Structure 1
C-alpha cells in the first residue's frame, strides 16, 4: 500500500510544473473579461460536481495541480480552462465468453465479471486515452492467458483462487492508470457437448462401481451377522422356538390367507420316530 501511494504522489508531482509568463498575462486578461461581463460571467466561471465526481482542470492544456477538484463548487477561467468530470463510483462490466485452450488441451468457454473504480482521476485522464476500454481489453487478455496455464480440473474446482489471482494481476497492471480493480468473479465455464457426455458417462460409471462395492460390503456384514445369530440360536433351542413364534406374529399382522411356516428337520424326525416306535410296540 505504501509503494502504491508513493507511486501516486510521484505521478502527481510531475503535473505541478511552473507556469510561464504567458499564463499570467492570459489569466489577467481573463479576469478583466470576467469583471466586464459580470454577473453573466458567473454562469461560465462557477462549476459544480457531485459527491461521487471529481473534476480534472486543464488550464492552457496543462493540468491544474495533481489533485482533482470537488465535490462542490469551484471556480474556473472560462477562456483558459477545460474541465473533465470523472465518476468515482464502482463500475462493472461483463467479459464476453472467451474460447480458451487449457493446459491439458481441452477447449472451454469462460466468462467473468469485473468491478473497478477510479481512485486517481488525474492519472485516469492523463495516462490513458480511454480508461474503461483499456481496462476491459486488459481483463479479456488476462483471463485468456491465465486460464491457458490451468488444467480443466483446476478451472472447475479452483474458481475462487483463479479470480483472486486475476484481480491481483489486473490491479497491478492498472495501478499506473489510477484504477483500482476490486473484484473479479468467474461466472460460468461451458464445455463442448461431447466432453460433457464423456464426463457424465465417467461419473456414472464411477458411481455404479461405488454402489457395487457398498452392496458387496453390505452382503458381507449381513452374512457375518447371520453367522453370529446362528451361533447364538444354536446354543439355546428355546430361543429358536421364540424366533419361530415371532415370525408367525409378524406374518399374521399382514392379513395373509396362507401361512407357510418351516419346521426344523430334527423336530419332524423326532415326531415320525416316536410314531414309528409306538406302532412296533
Structure 2
C-alpha cells in the first residue's frame, strides 16, 4: 500500500512539474494567462509557471496566406466576374495578444473581411480596369483590409489579384466574337488600303506611259520576255 501511495505521489509530482514547463518555439509567442486574465507575452525559450491557475496559449507569428475565390460579382459595367486573390498576413509581433483577445477566429475573420472588400472593389470597377490595374487594385485592397483588421493584431502584407475571369459562358463567347469581328474589320481595312495604293500606282504608271510611247514599248517587250 505504501509503495502504491509513493508511486501515485511520484506520478502526480511528475505531471505537476511537467505542466509547469512550456517550450515556446522561435516562430511562436506564448500568451500567459493567470486566473483567466492575460498576464504577459512569453518569447521563445523555456517558460516555467506555477502549476495552478496559470495557462499559456501559443500564437504562430510566421507569415500566412489565404486564397480567396469570389464568384458572381457584377462589375460597374454589368459584367459578371469571378476573382481569385491571395492575402498575405501575419500576427503583429508587437501585440500578438490582440490576435487572441480581440477576435475569436483570427485567420477566418481576416478572410471574411478580405472577401467583402473584394466584392466591393468588383462592384466599383469595370471589367477592363480589373484586367489592366490588378496591382493598383491589390494595393487598395491591402490598405482596406489592414484598416479593418488593425485592432486584431494583424499585419496585412499584400493582396495579389491572381485572376479575373468572366463568370458567364454566354458573355465570354460574345466578347470573343466581338474581338474576332474587330480583328477581321481591321484586316479588311488594311487590305483596302493596299488596294488603293496599288490602284494609285497603276494610274500613275498609265499616265507616264501615255506620254511616252518608247517607254510603253519597252515595258511591253519586258513583259513578253
Q: Could you say which residue in structure 2 is the equivalent of 1:136?
A: 111
Q: Judging changes above 3 Å, is the alpha-carbon distance between structure 1 residues 176 and 238 closer, same or farther for their aligned structure 2 residues?
A: same
Q: Deviations over 1:76-96 (max 9, x none)?
A: 222132111111111112213
Q: Judging changes above 3 Å, is the alpha-carbon distance between structure 1 residues 213 and 80 closer, same or farther for their aligned structure 2 residues?
A: same
TM-score (norm 2): 0.80
Matched, 1:104 2:77: yes
Matched, 1:201 2:192: no
3-state SS, counterpart of residue 42 of structure 2: coil
Q: Deviations over 1:43-89 (max 9, x none)?
A: 33332112111111111222223xx2221222222213211111111
Alignment partners' CA distance in 1, 2:212 and 2:43 = 96
TM-score (norm 1): 0.66
Q: Could you say which residue in structure 1 is the equivalent of 2:199?
A: 223
Greater relative contact order (Cα 8 A, min sep 6): structure 1 or 2?
A: 2
Aligned ranges 1:45-194 → 2 under 5 Å: 45-65=20-40, 68-119=41-92, 120-188=95-163, 189-194=165-170
Q: Following TM superposition, by how much is the alpha carbon of 1:108 offset from its aligned partner in structure 2, in angstroms?
A: 2.0
Alignment partners' CA distance in 2, 1:199 and 1:182 = 35
Alignment partners' CA distance in 1, 2:74 and 2:21 = 55
Alignment partners' CA distance in 2, 1:91 and 1:135 = 11
3-state SS, counterpart of residue 148 of structure 1: helix
Flag structure 1 segments of 5+ consecutive residues without an equivalent.
1-36, 248-260, 263-281
Flag structure 2 segments of 5+ consecutive residues without an equivalent.
1-12
Alignment partners' CA distance in 2, 1:45 and 1:109 = 51
Alignment partners' CA distance in 2, 1:85 and 1:211 = 65
Q: Judging changes above 3 Å, is the alpha-carbon distance between structure 1 residues 46 and 243 closer, same or farther for their aligned structure 2 residues?
A: farther
Q: Judging changes above 3 Å, is the alpha-carbon distance between structure 1 residues 49 and 216 closer, same or farther for their aligned structure 2 residues?
A: same
Q: Following TM superposition, by how much is the alpha carbon of 1:116 offset from its aligned partner in structure 2, in angstroms?
A: 1.0
Alignment partners' CA distance in 2, 1:58 and 1:225 = 92
Q: Deviations over 1:222-260 (max 9, x none)?
A: 334445556667669469737854x5xxxxxxxxxxxxx
Report how many residues are paired.
209
3-state SS, counterpart of residue 121 of structure 1: coil
Matched, 1:241 2:218: yes
3-state SS, counterpart of residue 182 of structure 2: helix
Alignment partners' CA distance in 1, 2:121 and 2:194 = 47
Hey, which of these two has a bigger chunk of strand by percent? 2
3-state SS, counterpart of residue 89 of structure 1: coil
3-state SS, counterpart of residue 211 of structure 1: helix
Q: Judging changes above 3 Å, is the alpha-carbon distance between structure 1 residues 237 and 71 closer, same or farther for their aligned structure 2 residues?
A: farther
Alignment partners' CA distance in 1, 2:149 and 2:49 = 30
CA RMSD of aligned residues (A): 2.6
Alignment partners' CA distance in 2, 1:239 and 1:117 = 84
Deviation larger for 80-89 or 228-237: 228-237
